[in-house]
Amino acid sequence: MDLKIPVLSTKILVLALIASISVISVPANAAGLKKVKRTGTWEATFLLRNQSSETYTGAGGFSDDSISFDSDMGFGFSFGYNFDQHLSLGLEFSGNRPRYTAEFNDENGDPQTLRREADAYATMFKLRYHFLDGPIQPFVSGGLGWTGIDSNIGTGNSYCSGYYYWYCYEDTFGTWGVGYTAEVGVRMDLPNRLFLRGSYGRQWSTKSIGSESTPSFDVGNLELGVTF
């Protein structure tokens, strides 16, 4: 198995980490921030999500085959409920369209390279624990849900439906399964019940890609939310 896990190199993760460090280093009173009562409140966020680049071997069924995903920034949104000042539960939806390069040998044994865009999705229930109850709160979180990657390469099976078959589609190769995450991050409460949240973690899937039985990606989120 040849699994390459690169060092984080994406702009959004770097910016999120720098912002988190800057926020922690500034006293809350100097920033004019105040503690927000979150117990029993709901929240919603819009997020920017970055998924790291990864390379997996054996993706075509042979050890020499490989598939390499580029890092990519996508979007998403989330909803959550705060049980108290420390514990919250959220549901997050996100998606990316990373480009990928597949290298393989065709039926004649000739090397081939394919360059396409994939669709990557994640739906996660996330449980967060905030260590502080003030305006700046470091937290850890764990998530469980569903993940999927669609290659956008047709299988050759096409279907049509509707009056005069006005809608047609084709099956594509993909992998879908249960996923889970582990993250660390920082939340900062702002005036008018707004807040910023930055996090970094790892996301795993139970559906294999090539020779990797639990493929995973580094994931970074930067969110703007509102509490109500």
- Tell me the pLDDT tens digit for each residue of 85-116: 999 999 999 998 988 887 777 667 777 777 87
Residue 3 confidence (pLDDT): 38
- Tell me the pLDDT tens digit for each residue of 35-71: 788 899 999 999 999 988 877 776 554 445 777 888 8
* Torsion angle (degrees, nearest 10) of CA 108, 113, 115, 120: 80
> How many angstroms separate the CA atoms of 184 and 197, rounded?
11
Tokens of 109: 């044994």
> How many angstroms separate the CA atoms of 5 and 16, rounded?
20
- Tell me the pLDDT tens digit for each residue of 132-156: 888 888 999 999 999 987 776 655 5
pTM, to two decimals: 0.75
Write down the domain spans for the chain. 11-227
pLDDT, average across residues 159-181: 66
Residue 8 confidence (pLDDT): 45
CATH annotation of 11-227: 2.40.160.20
Which range (56-70, 137-151, 160-174, 193-207) has the least confidence?
160-174
Four-residue CA torsion sign, 1, 113, 152, 126: positive
